[in-house]
A and B are shown apart, each in its own frame.
Chain A
């Protein structure tokens, strides 16, 4: 069967977009579900957080499965499984069963690493940044599109929405299975499949550069999903008077205002991501290496520098968000949030422009580790944001006590001028096994 790498990119992107739509579809209908089952604020919070529960371990397993069985089979299984579960949830009338089914539907979020592996098997090193950026950025936009469109299309009828989301997922699964090809050549496929074992998994997990990229992704994507959950509440509480002064009244009015301001971060973080991949490619083409300490002679050194710049910009924007909040300026906060969203996208796009190049024989395993463990940030950051005496200072605390050490570790791990993936914990053990 003849195919083209752009076709493979489109299949992966459509599959991921739909998975992201299913992943956050519960959140889009949470007010309707809460009203139907008379849920309290704690139960609502539990329902919202449950979307992330499966991501850390699920992405690790999915990355391994993509290497072992190929991306089309793995992605089709995820789409079909989550689609069937979504259809089942459309007919459920018991809340506990619905909750369990929606947790399983949220497994759709693990598909990210499968698509990353798929795209990496088809695109060349000089264009990988843009290709991965287009895949991930367009797919991530499914969350925002779902939040905007699903309630407008289906109003409060979440049963019908879940049914159609599941049916379309089954159609895409069949398409993925029919037209998807795991790799451009059989040789590449065999090489990657052979590397999908426990030893290579431990090897990737123990590499300093893999840990540094995982922390970089925790600073970017981990922060993005944390802010998706945190920001509406932040604006409602932190700028309560300012929002009332703008003419928004009642719970519905506050929700509309806070949701609109919060959407700035989500949209920029998703839709600027392909641009970040493009910038990574541009750094590579022009051999730009402006930062000190980070390696300059590696074949992909410019991409390391682009990511280093992105991480520093995230730290600065977090400080800016705290300053804007303490100044009590809603406009300044939204502006700072726009900057933060763009810089977060630089981090996410910059990270996955590097992963397939650093671990070319283990793309799924590496993507699973980096894209999976980092999502724990989505659970931790909101706790820190909410933990201080002042609601505005949480961003600066996270930047100072977590992000700055992460950035320092990144600079340290990216300093090797030869084969950074060879440096890590238990180096002697792996070297002996190689010998």
Chain B
């Protein structure tokens, strides 16, 4: 598809915006898990979503 000497500046293709949308969703999932874990370090078994 490409050679080292033929890297060009090209406008993103239509699929690209959906790819970026999907990666934002993935980041949101990672941040949610992180916030939940951090919340648990303060609240322990009382933390959301409840007692274990």
Contacts and interface: CB of A to CB of B under 8 A. Distances in A.
Interface of A: 5-6, 120-128, 130-131, 133-134, 137-138, 141, 183-184, 188, 245-248, 253, 256-257, 260-261, 263-264, 267-268, 270-272, 274-275, 277-278, 284-285, 298-300, 330-331, 334-335, 338, 341-342, 356-358, 360-361, 419, 421
Contacts of B15: 5-6
A343 to B, nearest CB: 13
A248 B43 CA distance: 11
A130 B4 contact: no
A132 B26 CA distance: 15
Contacts of B20: 130, 278
B19 interface: yes
Most chain-B Cβ atoms within 10 A of its Cβ — which of A5, A134, A277?
A: A134
Nearest to B43: A246
B13 A127 contact: yes
A5 B45 CA distance: 47
Contact of A284 (B7, B29, B46): B7
Contacts of B22: 134, 138, 274
Contacts of A299: 4-7
A145 B19 CA distance: 20
Nearest to A342: B30
Interface of B is mostly: helix
A138 B24 CA distance: 12
Contact of B44 (A122, A247, A358): A247
Given A248-B52, A264-B34, A122 B1 contact: yes
B23 A133 contact: yes
Given A133-B23, A134-B19, A334-B37, 4 more contacts: A6-B15, A126-B7, A271-B30, A421-B4
A130 B38 contact: no
A126 B33 contact: no
A264 B37 contact: yes
Contact of B40 (A257, A342, A358): A257
Nearest to B2: A125
Nearest to B24: A275
A419 B43 CA distance: 55
Interface string B36-52: 11101111111000001
Nearest to A185: B1
Contacts of B19: 130-131, 134, 274
A183 B1 CA distance: 8
A124 B42 contact: no
14 contacts: A127-B12, A130-B20, A246-B44, A253-B52, A260-B36, A264-B33, A267-B33, A270-B30, A272-B27, A274-B19, A274-B23, A300-B4, A357-B4, A360-B1
A407 to B, nearest CB: 23
B34 A120 contact: no
Contacts of A421: 4
A364 to B, nearest CB: 14
Contacts of A125: 1-2, 6-8
A361 B4 CA distance: 10
Contact of B2 (A335, A342, A356, A419): A356
B1 A357 contact: no
Contacts of A268: 30, 33-34
A134 B6 CA distance: 23
Contact of A184 (B1, B13, B52): B1
A145 to B, nearest CB: 10
Contacts of B45: 246-248, 253
Nearest to A134: B19
B23 A419 contact: no
Contact of A127 (B3, B16, B29): B16
Contacts of A122: 1
Given A6-B15, A271-B27, A274-B26, A126 B9 contact: yes
Residue from B27, B37, B40 having most chain A Cβ neighbours under 10 A: B37
Contacts of B33: 263-264, 267-268
Q: Shortest 7 CB-CB distances between A and B: which pairs?
A: A246-B44, A274-B23, A299-B7, A271-B30, A125-B2, A247-B45, A271-B26
Contacts of B41: 246, 261, 330-331, 334
A131 B34 CA distance: 25
A270 B34 CA distance: 13
Contact of A275 (B16, B23, B34, B42): B23
B10 to A, nearest CB: 5
Nearest to A243: B44
